[in-house]
């Protein structure tokens, strides 16, 4: 049976070939993306001797959850503290960012655009170049190695939410 010609001038067979090639490319990218996850899971089920003596891609000879129990106990307190700090800091950062974005949207001045451009440029500054001066600043405030220090760092580094959220308000009319 001859192939049908579709509206865009392609034959039905050409469309199927493109779909198959796209599926193959996506599958290959998915496999490459999943390799580190596979290695993480496989190596976490091995004991230390087996990790050091076998290939990272080989499954464990005897799956073992002992490494989880060894590492979870000393890390549980730090994991809980970090989770609570990040949850609180992200919530406050989102609230302050959305309030300031709305205020910037309602504000009518020429300096508003200059401030937004400065914020937009600041979002492209790598964190690594900001961290040392920011750590010195946090230490000068007396917040170094405290909950308030982590909280302050998170909120200072995420002020760019003002820039991102400000564009959301352009969708709505001023009332």
User: For residue 13, is it within any domain?
Assistant: yes
Q: Can you spell out the DSSP letters for the chain? A: -PPPBPTTS-BHHHHHHHHHHHHHHHHHHHHHHHHHHHHHHHHHTS-HHHHHHS-TTSPPSS---HHHHHHHHHHHHHHHHHHHHHHHHHHHHHHHHHHHHHHHHH---SHHHHHHHHHHHHTTS-HHHHHHHHHHHHHHTT-TTSHHHHHHHHHHHTTTHHHHHHHHHTTS---
**Segment 12-44, tens digit of pLDDT:** 667 788 889 889 999 999 999 999 999 999 988
Task: Assess whether 122 and 45 both reside in one domain.
Answer: no
Q: Does any domain span residue 29?
A: yes
Domain boundary among 64, 83, 118: 64
Same domain, 52 and 84: no
More confident residue, 122 or 9: 122
For residue 163, pLDDT over 80 is answered with: no
Cα-based distances in Å from 87 to 8, 96, 155: 50, 14, 11
Domain boundary among 64, 83, 101: 64
Specify whether 156 is located in the same domain as 73: yes
Check residue 173 and give its pLDDT. Answer: 58
Domain boundary among 47, 64, 81: 64
Whole-model pTM?
A: 0.52
Give the pLDDT band of residue 162 (cuts 50, 70, 90).
Answer: low
Domain check: are 42 and 122 in the same one?
no
20 and 58 assigned to the same domain: yes
Which tens digits make up the pLDDT trace of 62-118? Answer: 898 888 888 888 888 888 888 888 888 888 888 887 787 778 778 788 888 888 778
Same domain flag for 43 and 90: no
Q: What pLDDT score was predicted for residue 26? A: 94
- Domain region containing 143: 66-169
More confident residue, 31 or 166: 31
Domain count along the chain: 2
pLDDT, average across residues 123-145: 83
């Amino acid at each position: 049976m001859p192939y049908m010609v579709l509206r865009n001038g392609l034959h039905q067979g050409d469309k199927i070939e493109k779909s198959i090639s796209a599926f193959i490319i996506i599958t290959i990218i998915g496999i490459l993306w999943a390799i580190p996850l596979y290695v993480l899971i496989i190596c976490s089920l091995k004991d230390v001797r087996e990790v050091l003596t076998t290939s990272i891609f080989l499954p464990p000879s005897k799956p073992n959850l002992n490494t989880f129990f060894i590492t979870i106990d000393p890390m549980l307190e730090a994991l809980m503290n970090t989770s609570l700090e990040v949850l609180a800091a992200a919530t406050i950062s989102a609230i302050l960012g959305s309030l300031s974005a709305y205020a910037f949207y309602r504000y009518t001045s020429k300096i508003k655009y200059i401030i937004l451009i400065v914020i937009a440029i600041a979002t492209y500054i790598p964190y690594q170049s900001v961290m040392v001066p920011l750590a010195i600043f946090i230490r000068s405030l007396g917040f170094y190695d405290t909950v308030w220090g982590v909280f302050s760092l998170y909120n200072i580094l995420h002020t760019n939410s003002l820039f991102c959220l400000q564009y959301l308000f352009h969708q709505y009319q001023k009332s």
